[in-house]
Amino acid sequence: MKWFRRKKGRKGQGMTEYIIIVALIAIAAIGVITLFGDNIRALFGAAADATAGKQNVTSQVKSTPKALLKSKTLKTFNKGNSPSGN
């Protein structure tokens, strides 16, 4: 009878772990879409246009300004973060 009680508790543990993993994957997916959503939408739009038969399809993906890719320190962390460079 004790074996049956222990087995019952383990079933809930596996389901809880599965729910936590699914939640973490969902949070990661939301973060990626938030960061790269516009570029992903532009790429898929260009792919859909090309598949539909349009000629000379160009992607409207924005490139990252070089100023945003520079190494930051604590003193310069907040400088030049906007796309206009201010």
Domain ranges, residue 49: 2-57
Q: Is residue 68 part of a domain?
A: no
Give the pLDDT confidence score for residue 7 in this predicted structure. 59
Q: Is residue 10 part of a domain?
A: yes
Distance between CA atoms of 23 and 30, rounded to whole angstroms? 11
Q: Is residue 20 part of a domain?
A: yes
Distance between CA atoms of 76 and 45, rounded to whole angstroms? 37
Report DSSP state, residue 70.
Answer: S
Report how many domains make up the chain. 1
Distance between CA atoms of 37 and 69, rounded to whole angstroms? 19
Tokens of 34: 């938030």
Tell me how many degrees the CA angle 82-85-86 measures, rounded to the nearest 5.
80
Q: Is residue 64 part of a domain?
A: no
Q: Is residue 6 part of a domain?
A: yes
What's the pLDDT tens digit per position in 45-64?
888 888 888 887 776 666 66
Give the pLDDT confidence score for residue 21 in this predicted structure. 96
Whether the per-residue pLDDT at 24 is higher than 90: the answer is yes
Q: Do 59 and 46 contact (CB within 8 A), yes or no?
A: yes
Whether the per-residue pLDDT at 26 is higher than 90: the answer is yes
Give the pLDDT confidence score for residue 52 in this predicted structure. 85
